[in-house]
Amino acid sequence: MRLLAIDYGLKRTGIAATDPLQLTAQPLLTIETEECISWLKDYVKKEEVEKIIVGMPRQTNGEPSASAQYIKPFVEQLQTEISDIPICYFDERFTSVLAHKAMIDSGIKKKSRQDKALVDKIAACIILEDYMNSVRK
C-alpha cells in the first residue's frame, strides 16, 4: 500500500506518493488546492493508500506557524471525505528551502527553479521521505 504526502498551500498543493512497497517516494503533481480533495478521492479509489501525511509548518521553536490555521480545516474536510484512511501531520520546516536546494543540486535551470508548482511537489516528496526515515528509525 502506498503512502501519500501533501504540501498544502492556499493556491497550490503538492502531492507525492510512495511505490506500493513503500521503498521510494516520488513527486506526483501540483494541483490547485480547491481541486485537491476531489483528486485525492479519485486517487484512493484507484490506488491502495495506507496513510496520508500532511505537512505541518512549524516555527523554529516547534510551535505551529500561522499557516497551520488553514491546514487544519483542510485536513478535517479530507478526513470526512476519506474516512477509511488515517491522516497524520508531519513537521515540514524548511521543506521549500530543501526543495530549492535539491533542484540546484540536480542541475535544474534557474528559470525552472522559479516554477512554484515544481517546488510544491518536490516539497511534498521531501515531507514523505522525511516521514519514511522517521518511521524506519
Q: How far is CA 136 from CA 22, 38, 92, 129, 131, in A?
A: 11, 31, 18, 11, 9
The model's pLDDT over 9-54, given as tens digits with 9 standing for 90+, comes to: 899 999 999 999 999 999 999 999 999 999 999 999 999 999 999 9
Per-residue pLDDT at 111 exceeds 70: no
Alpha helices in the chain (DSSP H): 33-46, 68-81, 95-105, 110-113, 116-136
Give all domains of the chain, ordered by start, each with its CATH number.
2-136 (3.30.420.140)
Full-model pTM: 0.83
From 37-41, 117-121, 126-130, 132-136, the region with the lowest mean pLDDT: 117-121
Measured CA to CA, the distance from residue 40 to residue 35 in angstroms comes to 9
